[in-house]
């Protein structure tokens, strides 16, 4: 699941994206926060559904970019210490 999401994020972010570090961060966040794990699973399901959708034109499908940003924001909240 993590590899699926990180591979798709790499396509969105480009070559400067560190897939190994992001995958490790996602793994740690999944272990620490069950809500984050649910968010990651939702993104993975949408990636698979998007890949399997062949009858609908791509431009009509919802963009995954906002979901990637939400994952990264949630990751920052998990990593930052509480005030």
Section 51-65 average pLDDT: 73
pLDDT exceeds cutoff 90 at 13? no
Q: What's the pLDDT score for residue 44?
A: 92
3-state DSSP helix/strand/coil % of the chain, to nearest 5: 75, 0, 25
Percent of the chain residues past pLDDT 70, beyond the cut:
88
pLDDT at 52 over 90: no
Q: In the chain, what is the greatest distance between 2 CA atoms, to the nearest angstrom?
A: 49
Whether residue 81 is predicted with pLDDT greater than 80 in this model: the reply is no
pTM for the structure as a whole? 0.79
Q: pLDDT band for position 59 (50/70/90)? A: low
The tokens of 22 are what? 């992001």
* Alpha-carbon distances of 59 from 23, 49, 50, rounded to whole Å: 28, 15, 11
Q: d(Cα 57, Cα 69) in Å, to the nearest integer?
A: 24
SS3 (DSSP) at 44? helix
């Amino acid at each position: 699941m993590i590899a699926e999401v990180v591979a798709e994020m790499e396509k969105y972010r480009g070559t400067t994206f560190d897939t190994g570090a992001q995958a490790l961060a996602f793994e740690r966040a999944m272990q620490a926060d069950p809500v984050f794990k649910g968010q990651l699973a939702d993104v993975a399901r949408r990636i698979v559904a998007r890949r399997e959708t062949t009858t609908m034109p791509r431009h009509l499908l919802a963009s995954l970019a906002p979901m990637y940003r939400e994952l990264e924001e949630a990751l920052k909240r998990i990593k930052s210490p509480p005030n």
